Amino acid sequence: MILSLQGLNITPPFFQNSSIIFHQLYADCPDVLSSSSFNLRIILFENIIVFEVDTSMAKHTKVMRYRIIKPKEDSWDVFGKVLRELQRETRTALNKTIQLCWEWQGFSAEYKEQHGVAPKKKDVLGYTNLQGYAYNRIKDEFNTIGSGNLAQTVKRAADKWNSDVKEILRGDRSIPSFKKDVPIDVVASNVRSIRKEGKDYYLRLSLISKECAKEMGRKDGIFEVLIDVRDKTQRVILDRLIEKEYKLGASQILYHKRKWFINLNYQFEKQEEPLDPNRIMGIDMGIVHPLYIAISDSPARYHIEGGEIERFRRQVERRRKQLLKQGKYCGDGRRGHGRQTRIQPIEVLSEKIANFRKTTNHKYARHVIDLALRHKCGTIQLEDLKGIAKDDAFLKNWTYHDLQEKITYKANEAGIQVIKVQPKYTSQRCSECGHISSENRPSQSEFRCRVCGYEALADYNAARNLATKDIEQIIENSTAKK
């Protein structure tokens, strides 16, 4: 579908206000721009901007990581110093943006208490969103980072604030704080080129401001780097970016295990059948089965066995206890170099745990989204896990919250809506007749309805309930009658 919008009486050059323009466009037509993807074409007629939004093609966004082997013309001493300073400025910009967002939230709450209505950002700040305001406030405080990359960094912090603010105000989440190892943002236009020389691939990255480049005696802020291409998949992605089959998105440079990497964000389009928002995937999370999945209008069921997680957890706990005991009796080689050396094996183990958790949760989340797309589910309903860690030691050790975040992130990429449902009674309710009773659960793994006699695995029954539209309201109405 093609949608044409007229609005925003802005004189050229209007790209300086692109965030404001897009904010207004979103306000005018949120349903279209909240879809999984769209193509936006901007046409300028004198001082009137016409937007054409094409939602007929699905845009897929993915990320591939490449290790930076070396800068082509600079030494690692020079390039490493630049990257470390960019990382420091990125962290400062992120935290200052969050601080400005928090200050606005406090002012807004106080203003509403005094006047009965919330203040309008445009009237108070001169901007329609916090992103534009924060960028204008802090842009002159940074010498090294380029303006485009700084704008992307501010956007990252503002987006994080907007996604978390409701939970922050409820006390369910802390105010975001960014640490020293934050990735460095590289806006798409600052990946100036990708070129192939024999079997080698080079990226030209615009990283530093003109002022910083001048101070360093450089003609510009561009650094060309050789990257490590390990396999055919990585090579094909770069070739398609060079040939313009894929489009570059905002990327990031990060430091990990004493090496620098770049996460290249790329996009490609393909025709997709529309997802059905009324076809709901329900996901129950538990110990025996980390995930049990049901589809609202289908008998299909899927699950992931919990043995992999439990085996790894027991193995890690056993090894951790061994290392703690060994630390008491370690030799002079470890004891003589202080506490940090003695606990190093435990820190290595902690990193293995983090890597296993990350890899496993990514794998599970990808599996969930693949199933949802295969069944054309436009909605995924999950249990709201707030407070669950206090009640269940296993779920506290295994980060189900992290798994939910990864499912939510990947679902948003695919255009699938995610709804969190209060889990109360979803395990006691019969998914066939709706009867709710604790007696429906004769054991942890079994479900047997005391009214209609329906029998099933308890996890599957709960997943069927979670796959029911408006299940929270249905349960609330049922319990209110008792």
**Catalytic residue annotation:** 284, 383, 459
Residue 253 sits at φ, ψ, to 5 deg, of: -105, 135
Half-sphere exposure at residue 396, Cβ-oriented, CA atoms within 13 angstroms: 7
Q: Burial letters for 271-282: b for 16+ Cβ neighbours within 10 Å, e otherwise?
A: ebeebeeebbbb
Residue type, 326: Q
Spell out the residues 6+ positions from residue 456 whose beta carbon is closer than 8 angstroms to its own. Answer: 431, 447, 464
Whether 427 contacts 459, CB under 8 Å: no
Alpha-carbon gap, residue 63 to 263, rounded angstroms: 6
> What does the chain come to in residues?
482
Residue 264 sits at φ, ψ, to 5 deg, of: -85, 120
Antiparallel, parallel or unpaired: β 184-186 and 251-256: antiparallel
ω into 71 cis (within 30 of 0): no
Please name every residue paired with 145 in a beta bridge, in sequence order, or none if there are none.
208
Tally Cβ neighbours within 10 Å of residue 449: 21
Strand order in the sheet with 2-9: 2-9, 48-54, 39-45
Alpha-carbon gap, residue 221 to 74, rounded angstroms: 12
What does the DSSP assignment read for 436-458? B-GGG-SSSSEEE-TTT--EEEH
Residue 339 sits at φ, ψ, to 5 deg, of: -60, -40
